[in-house]
Amino acid sequence: MSTRTYRDAVGCLNSLQSNAAALDLVRATGGRSSAFAIPEMIEYLGVIGYKPADLNALNVIHVTGTKGKGSTSAFTDNLLREAHPEWKIGLYTSPHLVAVRERVRINGKPLSEEDFAKFFFEVWDKIDQNKTRVETTPDKPGYFRFMTLVAFHTFLSLKVDVTILEVGVGGTHDSTNIVPKPIVTGITALGIDHVNVLGKTLAEIAWQKGGIFKEGVPAFTVNQPVEGLDVLKQQAKDLKSSEFNVVNPPPELSNIKLGLAGKHQIQNAALAVHLARTFLRSRHSLPSSEFLTDSFVRGLENARWPGRCQTVEDPVYTNTTWYLDGAHTLESLECCMHWFVSPDVGLLADAGKQGPRILIFNCTSGRSGSTFLEAIHLHTAAQLKSFNSDESASSFFDHVIFCTNVTYADGGFKGDLTTLSIPEADLTQLKTQHQLSSAWSVLVPTFPTENIHVLPSIEHAVNLVRQLESGTKHASILVTGSLHLVGGVIEVAGLSFSLQL
């Protein structure tokens, strides 16, 4: 390759995606045995010049869970940056919203395009040039595995002082789970609705998550359903964790205005504080026995995690506010609606200034869209009732928009947002979007059909919002159901600058 730009790197990375047909085949055949996952990842690590033991130098805080793991990682990152601003802190998370380089952060900032391209191609070239692997191992790892290798290489090259490492999927067989001895491990909430979506029992999910526990390493979790908690306790025992702790949020946390909105964040913040305190204790740099030091309070208050219960004022249209939440499970949608349908968010204090409320929604094909929409409607009604509002849930939104995750009106994607996993029927026939539209009509039969919109791209949706905005009243736009959708809206609506992504 003659040029080595960021765009080139993104193009190469996208070539590692599986298309929708391939993914369907994997699901139908049960997929490649998970028994190969860790050995293959270790093999790829060797190809780029490292041994698993080298990863211990990253001083890893390993975080998993079915919801809240990204927020907990963000809180932990900010706590440590406030406590030790002189440290170099690495944060690896997924997915990204607008640019893939968001997944690899140093001191809270995504890698620059130049640095991302540099570290990316150093990994790419080594894998390209060294084909001497076990016969059954694919020549190149998949998208997430490759990004994990890039993160490891970046953090080792930059000699970070600490790494907050978020698991991608599961735990036991996840590509991040090759660090022999992290400093501390943490597990966020085990979402009950994942049991139905994934077709696994809560015990099976807990076993997967508990797979990140390591011998001699402290393990933390939040309060879990008994079935899941019992499995986590057993996993901690079997894997010989040095201790197993269930975190309960202390009363003083409720007096802090967390940087991440939503009542559910109190639990994530509490776990993050325990993870950060344990890490600092291991480095003999815990300033006091006080649970919340001044630096920790600042860390919790200043934490930011784009696209999760986030309010963004439109930089151009001053009477428009975007409410962004990538909620994509029943439980996270409940949290989303508790946040949005509340005073000073979706319920303006001055009702006379309330302009159109618009819902932009999409969900992954295969998920129960009608169930998700029902959850949105029911939680809207419950919230309105709790605030003694005269409004009806049936007319709370003035317009609903169901669009694909395709970025632009011409059918193209922003390079970082390219996905090959959208079924052809969604791209050509808008099958999922029409199903959502029908479900909404059944759910809210009084809703005007002309205010239900099925659109082929995110750009179409944003353009429609611009047409519906009222110049004198305040338009409130809730975007939810998919982080990919949220990322596309941020890109098309020009919100990236406001979010400093």
DSSP code per residue over 101-119: GGGEEETTEEPPHHHHHHH
The answer to the question of whether 33 is labelled as a binding residue is: no
Q: How do 310-313 and 243-247 pair as beta strands?
A: unpaired
Long-range (24+ apart) CB contacts under 8 A made by 443-446 are 443/370, 443/373, 443/374, 443/377, 444/377, 444/394, 446/394, 446/395
Q: Are 442 and 40 in contact (CB under 8 A)?
A: no
| Concatenated DSSP letters of 302-315 | H---TTSSEEEE-S
Query: Does the annotation list 166 as a binding residue?
Result: yes
Residues constituting the chain: 501
**CA-closest candidate to residue 486, choices 465, 458, 451, 466:** 458
Q: What distances in angstroms separate CA 271 from CA 74, 131, 501, one per listed residue?
A: 11, 42, 26
> Partners of 479 in the beta sheet?
324, 360
Ligand-binding annotation for 105, yes or no, is no
198's enclosing H/E stretch is helix 193-198
Would the annotation count 392 as a binding residue?
Answer: no
DSSP label of 189: B
- The answer to whether 308 is annotated as binding is yes
Alpha-carbon distances, residue 140 vs 34, 36, 114 (angstroms) = 17, 14, 23
Q: Which residues are annotated as a binding site for ATP?
A: 308, 325
Q: Which residues are annotated as a binding site for Mg(2+)?
A: 94, 166, 194
Q: Which residues are annotated as a binding site?
A: 94, 166, 194, 308, 325
